[in-house]
Amino acid sequence: MAELRETPYSVFNYLVNLGDSSEATVLGGFSEVSGLNAEVTIAEYRNGNAKTNYVTKIPAITKAGDVTLKRGVIGASNIYDWLQQVRQGDVNAKRTVQIKLKDENPSNASAVVTWKLIGAMPIKWTGPTLTAKGGNDVAIEELVLAVEHIEQE
């Protein structure tokens, strides 16, 4: 459950669990998580005999946006293996991914908010941009997840 406090939490201390039982074994921390969102579409309805000249708005289908994860290339194959599972049509490839925002205090780094991405599966993988200019940039891979539903604890 989210813990209430007067000052907002910082965004730099979080943990991503890909739903593959690897949370205890860190396979490269993600440097960025973006796209956490949920949307409720509406349906407009008006009775033919309504005395008012406007529509009633009724909640309809809910949608979750695609979530993007970025991490440095470390040689771990867990992301690519998951993508391969989806590409081969495995109907069991969907997972529940958890993103846990943690307290800034290292001695009390417990999760203060957890977002559960229900029915998540990779839909796009992007490898790093390579350049011979001799820069100091880190090789980053990007994974985009399609998500059926988002829950917050």
Q: Which domains, ranges and CATH numbers included, belong to the chain?
A: 14-152 (2.30.110)
Of the candidates 81, 46, 39, the one whose C-alpha atom is nearest the C-alpha of residue 64 is 39
The secondary structure element, H or E, covering residue 73 is none
- pTM of the model as a whole: 0.85
Q: What percent of the chain has pLDDT over 70?
A: 92
pLDDT tens for each residue of 116-139: 999 999 999 999 988 887 778 889
Q: Residue 83: helix, strand or coil by DSSP? A: helix
Mean pLDDT of the chain: 89
